[in-house]
Amino acid sequence: MSTLLELLKDGQFHSGQALGCALGVTRSAIWKQLQLLEVELGLDIHKVRGRGYRLASPITLLSAEKINRLSPDAPWAVQVFDFLDSTNAEALRSIERGCVAPFLVLAERQTAGRGRRGRKWISPFAENIYYSLVLRVDGGMRQLEGLSLVVGLAVMQALRGCGVPGAGLKWPNDVLVGQKKIAGILLELVGDPADVCHVVIGVGINVNMQASEEVDQEWTSVRLESGKIMDRNQLVARLGEVMAAYLERHRLHGFSAIQHEWEQNHLWQGRAVSLIAGVTKVDGVVLGIDRQGGLRLKVGGEEKAYSGGELSLRLRDDS
C-alpha cells in the first residue's frame, strides 16, 4: 500500500494500467488497493474514466531520513510510523522497553489520539503532525517547572517561521491564531520526579487539514493560514531546532528566564476570563504567569495564582 501511495502522492492522474505496471499487479488488484486506501486511511481518491486515479490533494509523507537531513544537529533519534494508537502511548511503551532517551516518535495517523483532559485529538492520515518527544530528566522538579509553556513557545516560533505569523499562546497548553486552535500540547510523566524520570512531550499541529466535522472547537491549520501546502518534514525539522534551543535555555536557567517572553506572546494577557476546574469557576483578569508557569489572575481586586493539569481557561463574554 505504501508503494501505491508513493505513486499517487503527487496529486496527478495515473491510469490503472500504469499503476499496475509499476507495481507488477493487475488493474483489479490496483482497484482493491485503492479501496483499502480510502477505507483504512480515509483518503479521498478521485476516479475518472479515461484519466485514471488521483488523490484529491497532493501529500508529502514523513521521512526520518529527510528530517535528519534538514536538521542534522537535532539531538534525538527519529522514529516514523504509518499507524499508531497515539504517539504518546507508543513513547511510553518505548520507555518501558528500555529505549534510551532522547528520541522522537512521529505517526502519519493516530487511531486514538488524545489531548488534555481526555479529549480526542483528530488525527487524519498524512495531513498533520503527531509528535512525541521523550526526554530523561535527572535532578528533580525544577527542570519540569513551566515545561509545557516552554514547549508552547517553541511550537509558536516554529509556526511563525513556517508561514503563520499570527500564531500566539493561550495558557496553559494551546497555540492559537486569533481564537482558532492550531496546536496543542500534552505532557506525560513516568518515574520519580524527585530523582530520575522521563517526560513525554506530545505535540499536535494542524498542518494541511482543510476540513473536519469531528473537531468540536474553532480551529485552523498552517495551510488555511498560509494558503500553501506545507511539507511536514520541514516543519518537524524546524520545530526540532527551536525546541532544542528552548529546552537547553530552560535547563540552564529555569523557567523564570523565559517567563517574560511567554507573557509577551500570551494572546489573552489582560483579558477577562473564567478559569474552570470541574464544576468550579473563577472569574478574573489575566495578569500573567508566575515563576513556575502558574496562571496569575486578578480576582476581586486580589492577585491569585492557579496551576494544575485539569484547569481550563475561557474568555468571558464581557472580555
- Look up 116 and say whether it is catalytic: yes
Contact assessment for residue 312 and residue 171, using Cβ atoms and an 8 Å cutoff: no
87 is an annotated ligand-binding site residue:
yes
Q: Which of 117, 244, 232 is nearest to 185 (CA)?
A: 117
Of 109, 277, 117, 255, the closest CA to residue 186 belongs to 117
Question: 291 a known binding residue?
Answer: no
Query: Of 181, 223, 238, 296, which one is the catalytic site residue?
Result: 181
| Residue for grid cell 525544577 | 142
86 known ligand binder: yes
Annotated catalytic, 296?
A: no
Other Cβ atoms within 10 Å of 171 Cβ, number: 27
Mapped onto helix, strand or coil, the DSSP state of residue 99 is coil
Q: How far is CA 315 from the centre of its chain?
A: 23
Q: How many whole angstroms separate alpha carbon 185 and alpha carbon 201? A: 7
Residue of 119, 142, 314, 316 marked active site: 314
- Report the C-alpha gap between 140 and 100 in whole angstroms: 19
* Helix (H) or strand (E) run with residue 260 in it: helix 259-264
One of 66, 116, 223, 296 is an active-site residue; which one? 116
- Does 221 belong to an annotated binding site? no
> CA 251: distance to chain centroid?
22
Please check if 148 is assigned to a binding site: no
| Residues 102, 40: Cα–Cα separation, whole Å | 31
d(CA 199, CA 67): 22
> Using CA atoms, how far apart are residues 55 and 13, in angstroms rounded to an integer?
8
Give the integer Cα–Cα distance in Å for 126 and 235: 13
For residues 78 and 64, is the Cβ–Cβ distance under 8 A? yes
Is residue 116 a known part of a binding site?
A: yes
**Residue indicated by cell numbers 504517539:** 87
Q: Which residues are catalytic?
A: 116, 181, 314
Please give the annotated binding residues for biotin, written as ranges.
86-88, 110, 114-116, 181
Please give the annotated binding residues, written as ranges.
86-88, 110, 114-116, 181
